Structure 1
Amino acid sequence: MPRLFSAIEIPRSIAERFTMLRSGLSGARWIDPENYHLTLRFIGDVDGATARDFTNALGEIAMPPFELQLNGLDSFGGNKPRALFAGVKPSPGLDSLRRANDRAAREAGLPPEGRNFKPHVTLARLRGVRPDAVAAYLERQADVAVERFTVSRFVLYSSRNSVGGGPYVIEAAYELDDAYDADDTGHRAYDRDLAEAFGVKD
């Protein structure tokens, strides 16, 4: 089964800006810009029925678009750095969307998320990179600034790559709109296609 997670896409203009930072850190495995994303809820490998239930629950989410801004670079792993990422400025809209995704996961019968939510966009995987090299890189990039962008939809991604970093496939997309109709026939048809892809029949 594919590995599933819901996420916010990163606009191409911002992704291209981050590609300008893909140098000066030996040992970094840079993520392709088309695979940049902000994870909302990681689901993992689930059966087809659970995938369908989660997809349907995501389709019930109704909220307006909101503004988001990425905020500087940092790393995970401390003295054993494992990833380089762009942080995210606090956003009530993001918090609401993340909670809605959590509720959708619970409605699909999935266990609670075991990790604290730290919104970020992974830019590179690190292996065998010295902490002082990461610190020097982050110091050089301390002035990185990114413009705000509007989040008008979120998506359900799948990946069959066990290493991480893509490639990712958009299985479904969900528009943010107060007037969204959860009974929209086009959306229901998309769900049926997704269910069939996961081997589930109505």
Structure 2
Amino acid sequence: MPRLFTGLEIPAEIAERLSFFRGGLPGARWIEPSDYHVTLRFLGEVDDVLAADLDAGLAEARPRPPLTVTLDGLAAFGGDKPRALYASVVATPELIAVQEEHERIARRAGAEPERRKFTPHVTLARLNREATPEAVAHLLAQAGVFPRLSFTARRAALYSARTSRGGGPYLVEAAYPFVGGECGTGEDADG
């Protein structure tokens, strides 16, 4: 059974800038920059029927224009038991609308409702027990001011992941261009 999720691709120039934050944290399993993405809807392992219905639903999604995605800081999930280091993404109304649409499509395809609140982000590292809260706080303090990074997302993608403990590699199985979007990832970057 494929392990699937939908998301937005991160352009190479933004991924390169995010990669500067790699390193210096014991217990971190760093994500490869080529695997950076913004997850819209995680599905996990699904059967071929649900995968096909999801693909069909995404292909028929409401036309929408490309959207601006802005990354605005570094943070960690997990509090006293940190489990991931990430770059936060501004939750614009346009981004939330795309995510909500992916949720509706996933449910129509037969997926269980997502129980977690949508927190848009780009995972930079998965953390194990060696990554103490103090070490994570130190890394975040040492990172300094995070420069806002923006790009134009021109399509959503359906990704597959090999069975692993997370962190890729990820493969784009299908892409769903936004109106006026092209099949490539966003090329515009500033920050």
Same fold (TM over 0.5): yes
> How many Å apart are 1:142 and its aligned residue?
3.5
CA positional deviation for 1:171: 0.5
* Alignment-derived partner of residue 141 in structure 1: 143
Question: How far apart in 2 are the matches of 1:75 and 1:147?
Answer: 18
- Match for residue 100 of structure 1? 101
2: CA distance between counterparts of 1:178 and 1:97?
16
Query: Contact 1:72 / 1:142 at 8 angstroms: preserved in 2?
Result: no
Give matches, 1:146-157, under 5 Å: 146-157=148-159
Normalising by structure 2, we get a TM-score of: 0.90
Measure the CA separation in 2 of the matches of 1:132 and 1:89.
26
Q: Between Structure 1 and Structure 2, which shows a larger proportion of strand residues?
A: 2
Distance 2:86 2:9 in 1: 15
**How far apart in 2 are the matches of 1:116 and 1:142?**
28
Q: CA deviation at 1:161?
A: 2.5
Deviation at 1:147, TM superposition (A): 2.4
- Partner in structure 2 of residue 50 of structure 1: 50
* Identity fraction in percent: 50
Partner residue in 1 for 2:41: 41
Alignment of 1:79-94 (within 5 A): 79-94=80-95
Q: Which residue of 2 aligns with 1:78?
A: 79
Question: Which residue does the alignment assign to 2:121?
Answer: 120
Moved over 4 A (4+): none
Which of 162, 169, 177 is the matching residue for 2:171?
169
| Partner Cα separation in structure 2 for residue 110 and residue 81 of structure 1 | 28
Contact 2:2 2:47 (C-alpha < 8 Å) held by counterparts: no
Match of 1:16 in 2: 16
How many residues align? The count is 179
- Cα distance, 1:93 vs. partner? 1.2
Distance 1:159 1:55 in 2: 16
Aligned equivalents of 2:149 and 2:111: distance in 1? 35
Which one-letter code corresponds to 2:35 in the other structure? Answer: N
- CA–CA separation in structure 2 for the residues paired with 1:142 and 1:91: 25
TM-score (norm 1): 0.85
Q: Which moved more, 1:52-61 or 1:136-145?
A: 136-145
- The question of whether the paired residues in 2 share the 8 Å contact of 1:5 and 1:44 is answered with yes
Task: Return the index of the structure with the highest Cα Rg.
Answer: 1
- Alpha-carbon RMSD across the aligned residues, in angstroms, is 1.4
CA separation in 2, counterparts of 1:19 and 1:111?
Answer: 34
Is the CA contact 2:28–2:127 (under 8 Å) kept in the aligned structure 1? Answer: yes
Deviation readout 1:86-139 (Å, 9 max, x if unpaired): 001131110110011011112112221111111111000111211111101111
Within 1, Cα distance between the matches of 2:73 and 2:110?
Answer: 36
Query: 1:178, CA displacement in angstroms?
Result: 7.0
1:130 aligns with 2:132: yes
Structure 2 unaligned regions, length at least 5: 182-191
Q: d(CA) in 2 for partners of 1:103 and 1:178?
A: 23
Structure 1: segments with no counterpart, 5+ residues: 180-202
Contact (CA 8 Å) 1:161, 1:167: kept in 2 or not? no
**TM-fit CA distance, 1:21:** 1.3
